[in-house]
Structure 1
Amino acid sequence: MQKKNRALHIAQIIFIIFSAFLVGYLLDLSQTGSLSYAAKTVFQTNVSTYIVTSIILFLIYMGLYGLINRFFYSSAIFYIFFAIYGIANRLKVIYRAEPILPSDLALISNAKELLSMVTAKVVIVVVVAIIVVVAASVFLEMRFGKKLLRFKVIPRVIFVVLALISLGSFYTANREGSLTNKFLAKIGYSDFVVNINWSANTNGPMLTFLSNVHIDVMDEPSGYNEATMNKLVKKYQGVADDINQDRPNNDLKKQTLIFVLSESFADPKRVPNIKLNHEVAPNLQNIKKNNTSGLMMSSGYGGGTANMEYMTFTGLAYNLFSKSLTSPYTQLVTKQNHPINIANSFDTTAAIHPYDGNFYDRNTVYQKFGIQTFRNISTTGNLALKDVSTLPYSPYVSDQATYNDTLDQINQAKGGQFINVVTMQNHMPYLTKYANNQFKVSGKGAGKNLQQVKNYSKGINITDTSTQKFLNELDKINKPITIVWYGDHLPGIYDGNSMSKYDIVQHETDYFVYSNKYALEHGDATQKINDATQITDPNGFIPLALKQMKQKVTPYYALLTRVQEELPAMAKDSVGSNPNLYVDKNGKRVSSKDLTAKQKQLLKDYKLVQYDLTAGKDYSKSTINK
């Protein structure tokens, strides 16, 4: 390095470092849209993730420099690329409330359609800016390039390799125990699986993007191959034949099946160290007494709604996935093509959720599942919710309003259909102080949250009443309807109880399967199934519904039937290092080592099918659900 150019070369390096930190800040700004919020994020609350982002940007810059060995050209590419990335990220946040993700790269092939969604003004400004930057870089390189740093082969290779390593290391970011995963945890990377936009707001869009490049869906079971899967399909075709001998109905499309996820519904009287002065859900208890019902093992506490929803749709077990897959909706389904699920069995399908349709990527996920219409608070026109009324002082649409929209959807189709409903009334926080709240709560189980438990109790008491009214309306409809109704998880307000001590009971919610009067009178359903219903899991709802509806099953649903009937209920454990929580019909924890040989084989078959349909080669996909 010549002495007369040393200062210029130092200035180059300073400029590159400055550029990395500047672009890191601008990317945060593209995510939040607020100068003050972005400044607070990068300089106060999330300094570590901002520094890591800037280091990666620096290495990318140097990698480009090493590859091209021309300062102004590499600078132009760096700024143009991240300007386009930042603009695209901002537009996506505005219109879809989520950052750019690796799955979006598949849309590049549809560039023409994407550009049609952007205003002409934006396109013109971007194109003009690119032309100006390119022209300036060519002029500056020709005028001053010879005076700037030019590297020899070895440094250039090192710069490129370091850039690739910095990016490639994120391939294992979601693999628990990996160096990258541990490093991200150390610097305070926050993974908000409920809403990836929150992750990007906190960590910055680039780290969020890189951390979602690769997900380990599930470990490959031993013996997995095409021959094994063909044998399993034949095996469960035989099981299906046996089951179907006692099932008179063979056309599920003629019936209406409704899944209702009742947000955070779990009777507080079962929670240890909680006492109430009145029965909170008397109607529900009566419904459960006279219909197929029991307790559902939830894989969440205080959250995880979409994970339970995923299991009800597919019949697959969340606990059997790898630990790095924390949200099947956002990390798995969005990347699948036509995944097997209960909606596949119907010609008419709909979903209703009186909240943001983008939560857990439901807009995308429901399309992947084949849901034809999705009504949420953002939909308009014919897809707009007709009733968005709330309870006094509550921010959420009431259950009664959601039931009204469900009844409207039922009446829109002459024949059968599948409807998935996710309510919002009893979502946290439980700060709404209902008028005329008759409930008094005591006991150390709530910790400092006695008032919240009181508010929550009144909320589910209102749900109890509106649910009974809903079922009464179903009984007036002259077509067969069966509803699977369940709470997804307990509210996270029982701070006084130890989860390690009350692990099972604080993961038990209420469920029932109810068939309307018409279905019962016309042989389309039975009223109450008594076997293997005391405790189940969300992946057991499809076989329970089909049994209640006297419907013949496919090999896939035959497998799910045997799993529901013969295996303990399963959930992902939130206590200890073992991710699998198995619970028998008496509510007792069961170790996988205690399973019989027949149960172990059934569990192995289940794992093989789940792997094949989610992480494997889809050997069975075309035949197992026919």
Structure 2
Amino acid sequence: MRLPLVNSQSTKIINNKSLLHKLGYSVVLLLLIPFIILVSLELFYTGNIHSVTAWIINYSKEFILSYIVTFALANIFYIFPRKIYLIISSIIFTLFSILGFVSRQKLINKGSPLVPSDLLLAKEALEISEAFKGVTAAVALIIFASICIIFLIIKFIPAAKYKCSRKIAVFSLSALLLFFLYTYFGQIQRVFALELINYSQAMNYDQNGMMLGFILEAKNQKISSPSDYQQDTINNIVQNNKASYTINPDFKPNIIFVMSEAFWDPTLMKNVTFNQDPIPFFHSLQKSQTSGTMLSAVYGGGTANTEFEALTGFSTQFLPAGTIAYSQYINRPIEALPTVLKSQGYSAAAIHTYDNWFYGRNSVYKSFGFDKFISKEFLNSPKFHGNYISDIELTNQILKEVNNTNKPDFIYAVSMEDHGPYGTSENPDNTIKTQASNLTPESQAILNNYANTINDVDKSLQQLIEGLQKSNQPTLVVFYGDHLPLLGDNYSVYKDADFITDANSYEDYLNLHSVPFVTWNNFGLETTSNLRLSANYMGTLALEMTQKSGSPMTDFLSNLMKDDSDTIIDPVYQSQEKINLDQISKYKDLQYDLLFGNEFTYEFTPNHTPKTNDNYIQGSALPSITGATISGDELTVHGENFVENDKIYIYDKEIKTTYNGTTTLTAVVPKNTENKKISIQLKLSDSMNKIISQSNIYSIN
């Protein structure tokens, strides 16, 4: 029997539908696979789908750019046959999932996510992996799941006809996207208005997503070695730069640094007067003690960079513009002032009246060799001035540390009271008023609010000095601001007061980066006024004033100071300072060696090699449980070193806790613990829900 012929037009329509179906399938595959890979990365990092969904909705442009990157990265392999493409996609999916998971574990355990420098340092990576509970099993599970997916692809996905023109088109598009992303990422960053949040990598990833956050961080971290960096160069620098001042190993005065947030002298504005002196005590110290001007590398923010320079002697002017050294470059032990002074019998404490995790101080201080870090979480019912903890609290904590230790103290204290913004509406409680016809009402309100805040800071400084006088211990205090305050948008107050013109000249740069500093001592040092040095020389100055030995870096800086080469400023204006290019070259070589390089310095000075700081704690002292009793349903815990934010945990679950003093806490016993052995521990969590202090475990029947 002869079959009827199929209509050729019908066959054509059927074939076209089949082609469209296949084409639609391919397009869906091309679009869906990168989406799955990107979502898997974010899901493993954040730990829940709700956070991923919220990120996609709230930060849509960051998501779109992340998707474009993932699309290009995955589909550049589309040039291969379908099975190979799917297998490679599965491998990328696996790697991204593992990176997201490891980053989350690092965030949970260390307070910050995975950053590029973690991948570059094998030792750091090993340290991270050892800290993760169950990480090996979880990674193995991800890999096993990936292997299963690859097996299913090989077994059940049919081979597809190789469409050369389509694959070349997709490959070319992906390659072109990767080329533009790599070559013009800076321009793309500006177009998408991407923001690298330097002060917190966790927040950086929350906003940009892990992929873009990681890329932004990698772009900002790239440091090239100096052209003449080699072992002989470092040896020559170290051997020819011994300390240029006298050292007295038997004299060990307390050394206290107070870096006061945004502290500056507004009376330096010649066209503005005040009805009374905003900082009378500071001015009195300027007249009677060694004082001068400190050049800060930052304006209006970037506190941690000034701190980094003062503690290490390194200069942020040798790092990429806009970087925050604490968050990006501290990934190994550094010989900073705490390490230097501890080797000479000092105790070393850092105090800060703000969150411990900000700028990564909680981990940086460990790398610098501090014994302890007392942050706001450990302060009991602190007094606030405006939005921030009062500097009186900082003063009280400094005096407490000085009086409670039996060693000479090195203390680095960082305040917060004077942190902006200062408000365009005047505080009705202001008593100090500006008198200037050239200020707008908004500028005048900002300046009045600022002047009254620093007046309170000045009183705190006076209380500190008076308290140290009573302690009768030989002490040096170095007091300075981290940077000028951010007074209005676009320098508005400074411009209104004719303090600067347009912030583009050498003179304007100096005005916006010059912070007055004072010292105080009670052991009869000769005074020097009108000193001028950048923040990276502050530690060397303190060592010289107290006749303490330093590090290879501070020894090098002491020789620069001897030659009056004691200012490192923006490279644009550096030629107008005294330091010459040869000195700068040596400085860069030494800094690179200690911060990024092979640490040749310590081969020539092995006694200066910094070691892992295993005894570092957060808080003044770890809490200790010495006893516990139950009366009815009330649990009373006895011990020492308790603070207000300590919480009682039973069977590793937090219960509502009442603070009764440094030796007693109480809580209501959960009902399901009756007639059972109870395991008790104290823990203290910060605002990121990370445990930063905990006691011994105590059991009662």
Give your verdict on TM over 0.5.
yes
Query: Which of residues 271, 288, 291 in structure 1 aligns to 2:289?
Result: 291
In the TM superposition, residue 327 of structure 1 has moved relative to its aligned partner by 1.7
Q: Give the total of aligned pairs.
A: 567
For 1:491 and 1:259, how far apart are their aligned partners in 2? 20
- Counterpart of 2:313 in structure 1: which amino acid? G
Once the two structures are superposed, residues 500-529 of structure 1 have per-residue CA deviations (whole angstroms, 9 ceiling, x without a partner) of 3633222211211222x3x44xxxxx1523
**Contact kept? 2:245, 2:544, Cα under 8 Å:** no
For 1:115 and 1:408, how far apart are their aligned partners in 2? 36
For 2:373 and 2:176, how far apart are their aligned partners in 1? 41
Once the two structures are superposed, residues 390-420 of structure 1 have per-residue CA deviations (whole angstroms, 9 ceiling, x without a partner) of 12xx221111101111222223321123221
Q: Does residue 236 of the first structure (1) align with residue 241 of the second (2)?
A: yes
Distance of aligned partners of 1:70 and 1:605 in 2 relative to their CA distance in 1, 3 Å threshold: closer
For 2:94 and 2:339, how far apart are their aligned partners in 1? 44
Structure 2 counterparts to residues 170-319 of structure 1, below 5 A: 179-213=184-218, 220-221=225-226, 223-237=228-242, 240=243, 243-244=245-246, 247=247, 249-250=248-249, 254-271=252-269, 273-319=271-317
Structure 2: tracts of 5 or more residues without a match? 1-14, 496-501, 609-701
- Counterpart of 1:591 in structure 2: which amino acid? Q
For 1:222 and 1:75, how far apart are their aligned partners in 2? 40
- Counterpart of 1:196 in structure 2: which amino acid? Q
For 1:36 and 1:112, how far apart are their aligned partners in 2? 29
Query: Which of residues 117, 129, 142 in structure 1 aligns to 2:155?
Result: 142
Distance of aligned partners of 1:441 and 1:149 in 2 relative to their CA distance in 1, 3 Å threshold: farther
For 2:339, the equivalent position in structure 1 comes to 344
Once the two structures are superposed, residues 444-475 of structure 1 have per-residue CA deviations (whole angstroms, 9 ceiling, x without a partner) of 46783332222111111000001111111111
Secondary structure at the aligned position of 1:504 is classed as helix
More strand by share: 2
**Contact kept? 1:490, 1:507, Cα under 8 Å:** yes
Once the two structures are superposed, residues 332-363 of structure 1 have per-residue CA deviations (whole angstroms, 9 ceiling, x without a partner) of 223xx222311112222221112122222212
**Contact kept? 1:446, 1:495, Cα under 8 Å:** no
For 1:293 and 1:75, how far apart are their aligned partners in 2? 63
Q: Does residue 354 of the first structure (1) align with residue 329 of the second (2)?
A: no
Q: Does residue 485 of the first structure (1) align with residue 497 of the second (2)?
A: no
For 1:150 and 1:418, how far apart are their aligned partners in 2? 71
Query: Which of residues 459, 464, 475 in structure 1 aligns to 2:458?
Result: 464
In the TM superposition, residue 425 of structure 1 has moved relative to its aligned partner by 0.7
For 2:31, the equivalent position in structure 1 comes to 17
- Counterpart of 1:566 in structure 2: which amino acid? D
Higher mean Cα deviation, 9-18 or 506-515?
9-18
**Contact kept? 2:87, 2:153, Cα under 8 Å:** no
Distance of aligned partners of 1:128 and 1:320 in 2 relative to their CA distance in 1, 3 Å threshold: closer
For 1:401 and 1:559, how far apart are their aligned partners in 2? 36
Once the two structures are superposed, residues 33-56 of structure 1 have per-residue CA deviations (whole angstroms, 9 ceiling, x without a partner) of 64675244343xxx2x43331122
For 1:50, the equivalent position in structure 2 comes to 63
Structure 2 counterparts to residues 400-419 of structure 1, below 5 A: 400-419=392-411
Distance of aligned partners of 1:196 and 1:160 in 2 relative to their CA distance in 1, 3 Å threshold: farther
**Contact kept? 1:344, 1:369, Cα under 8 Å:** yes
For 2:100 and 2:363, how far apart are their aligned partners in 1? 23
For 1:585, the equivalent position in structure 2 comes to none
- Counterpart of 2:316 in structure 1: which amino acid? Y
Query: Which of residues 547, 551, 560 in structure 2 aligns to 1:550?
Result: 547
In the TM superposition, residue 281 of structure 1 has moved relative to its aligned partner by 0.1
Secondary structure at the aligned position of 2:517 is classed as strand
Distance of aligned partners of 1:449 and 1:93 in 2 relative to their CA distance in 1, 3 Å threshold: farther
In the TM superposition, residue 202 of structure 1 has moved relative to its aligned partner by 3.5
Higher mean Cα deviation, 454-463 or 344-353?
344-353
**Contact kept? 2:299, 2:512, Cα under 8 Å:** yes
Once the two structures are superposed, residues 15-49 of structure 1 have per-residue CA deviations (whole angstroms, 9 ceiling, x without a partner) of 33134346546766766964675244343xxx2x4
For 2:382, the equivalent position in structure 1 comes to 388
- Counterpart of 1:309 in structure 2: which amino acid? E
| RCO higher in structure (CA 8 A, sep ≥6) | 1
Higher mean Cα deviation, 284-293 or 153-162?
153-162
**Contact kept? 1:482, 1:514, Cα under 8 Å:** yes
What is the root-mean-square deviation in Å for CA atoms of aligned residues? 3.9
For 1:41, the equivalent position in structure 2 comes to 58
